[in-house]
C-alpha cells in the first residue's frame, strides 16, 4: 500500500524554460490575448505548455516562410540554426529569440574555438533540435557514443569538446574520458556545457532512486532531459517510467510500492504534479509527502525587452 510520495528536490521548470515561456506570455500580454503570435518549433518540449498556448492564439511553425511579414516570431528555447533570425528579419518579421542563454553559451564556445584553430568534437543526440542548431555554426566532429569516439580520425593537435546541454551527465563523463585517452591534449570548457538544471535533476533522481520503490518522471517523450532522467533512475536498478500526466499511471505499477518517487523534468509544469497527487489520493488513499517544497536553484535570466 502506498504510504509515502517522495518528490525530487530539484524539479520542474528551469530558468531557460521560464525565460522562453515568459517571452511568449509577455508578448501575448503586450499584443492582447488572442493576438496572432508565431513560434518556431515547440517553445519547450512539453505538450501541455504548447497546447495551452495554441488555445490562446499562438501558432507553432516549422518553417519561417509560414510567418507573414510584420508578425511576431519567437524562436524556441533550444536554439535556432545560424542566420535564421536574420533571415526572418529580412522578411519583415519581428523576431524575439528565446534561446536559453546556456545554449547560446555553447554556440559562442563553438565559434571561439573554431576561430582559434581547434577541431571541435560535439557530444550530442544528432536528431535533437538543440544539436541541429549548434551544428550549424561551425564544422564539428559529432559523437553520440564511445564507439563514435573510437572511429574519429583527427590530425589536428588542437582539439576541443562541446556537449548538448541536456545529456546524461554520467554518459558524457564516460565519453569525454575516452576522448581524452585518445587525444590527451583535449581542451574542455572552463564551465561544463551540461546545464545546471540537468545536473541538479539527475543528481536528485539518483537520490530518489535510493529512497523509493518506483520512480515516475513527469515529462514528454520528445524531451531529452525527461528521457535522461528515466535512464538515470534505471541505471541505479530502480524501476522508472516516463509519464505525461496522471492518465498514464497504470495501477499495476504501484502494486507492492510503499514509497513512490516523483519528479518533473525541466520542461514540465508544476500543475501536472498537483493533478498526479490528487489522482493518487483518489486511487490509494492519503499518504505522506516528502520534499513538498522544491529547492530554489537561485538562477534566472533577464526577460527579453519587447516592443
pLDDT of residue 161: 98
pLDDT of residue 305: 87
Question: What gap in Å lies between CA 292 and CA 290, rounded to an integer?
Answer: 6
244 is catalytic: no
- Global pTM reads 0.93
The CATH class, in words, for 102-182 is alpha beta
State which fold the 4-13+196-290 domain adopts: Cobalt-precorrin-4 Transmethylase; domain 1 (3.40.1010)
Span 167-193, average pLDDT: 95
Catalytic residue, chosen from 86, 130, 283, 297, is 130
pLDDT of residue 118: 98
Task: Enumerate the domain spans of the chain.
Answer: 4-13+196-290, 15-99, 102-182
pLDDT of residue 199: 95
State which fold the 15-99 domain adopts: Rossmann fold (3.40.50)
Is 69's pLDDT higher than 90?
A: yes
Question: What gap in Å lies between CA 40 and CA 51, rounded to an integer?
Answer: 14
Q: What percent helix, strand, coil does the chain show, rounded to 5?
A: 40, 15, 40
Report which of residues 307 and 267 the model is more confident about: 267
pLDDT of residue 190: 83
pLDDT of residue 89: 98
Question: What gap in Å lies between CA 153 and CA 213, rounded to an integer?
Answer: 45
What does 145-181 look like in DSSP terms, one character per residue? SHHHHHT-----S-EEEEE-TTS-HHHHHHHHHHHHH
pLDDT band at 136 (very low <50, low <70, confident <90, very high): very high
pLDDT of residue 191: 86
Same fold for the domain at 15-99 and the one at 102-182?
A: no
Radius of gyration (Cα) for the chain, nearest Å?
21
Span 4-20, average pLDDT: 97
pLDDT of residue 36: 87
Span 260-277, average pLDDT: 97
Amino acid at each position: 500500500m502506498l504510504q509515502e510520495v517522495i518528490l525530487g528536490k530539484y524539479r520542474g521548470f528551469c530558468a531557460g524554460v521560464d525565460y522562453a515561456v515568459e517571452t511568449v506570455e509577455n508578448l501575448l500580454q503586450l499584443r492582447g490575448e488572442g493576438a496572432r503570435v508565431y513560434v518556431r518549433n515547440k517553445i519547450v518540449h512539453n505538450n501541455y505548455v504548447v497546447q495551452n498556448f495554441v488555445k490562446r492564439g499562438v501558432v507553432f511553425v516549422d518553417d519561417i516562410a509560414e510567418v507573414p511579414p510584420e508578425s511576431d516570431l519567437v524562436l524556441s528555447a533550444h536554439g535556432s540554426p545560424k542566420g535564421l533570425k536574420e533571415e526572418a528579419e529580412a522578411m519583415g518579421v519581428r523576431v524575439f529569440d528565446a534561446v536559453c542563454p546556456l545554449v547560446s553559451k555553447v554556440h559562442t564556445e563553438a565559434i571561439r574555438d573554431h576561430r582559434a584553430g581547434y577541431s571541435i568534437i560535439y557530444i550530442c543526440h544528432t536528431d535533437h533540435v538543440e544539436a541541429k542548431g549548434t551544428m550549424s555554426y561551425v564544422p564539428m566532429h559529432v559523437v553520440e557514443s564511445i564507439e563514435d569516439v573510437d572511429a574519429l580520425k583527427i590530425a589536428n593537435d588542437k582539439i576541443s569538446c562541446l556537449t548538448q546541454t541536456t545529456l546524461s551527465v554520467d554518459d558524457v563523463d564516460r565519453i569525454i574520458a575516452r576522448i581524452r585517452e585518445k587525444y590527451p591534449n583535449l581542451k574542455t570548457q572552463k564551465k561544463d556545457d551540461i546545464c545546471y538544471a540537468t545536473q541538479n535533476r539527475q543528481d536528485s533522481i539518483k537520490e530518489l532512486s535510493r529512497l523509493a520503490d518506483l520512480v515516475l518522471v513527469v515529462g514528454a517523450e520528445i524531451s531529452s532531459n525527461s528521457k535522461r532522467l528515466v535512464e538515470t533512475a534505471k541505471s541505479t536498478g530502480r524501476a522508472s517510467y516516463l509519464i505525461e500526466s496522471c492518465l498514464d499511471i497504470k495501477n499495476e505499477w504501484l502494486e507492492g510500492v510503499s514509497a513512490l518517487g516523483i519528479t518533473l523534468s525541466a520542461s514540465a509544469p508544476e500543475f501536472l504534479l498537483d493533478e498526479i497527487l490528487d489522482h493518487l489520493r483518489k486511487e490509494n488513499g492519503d499518504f505522506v509527502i516528502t520534499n513538498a517544497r522544491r529547492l530554489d536553484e537561485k538562477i534566472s535570466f533577464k526577460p527579453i525587452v519587447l516592443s
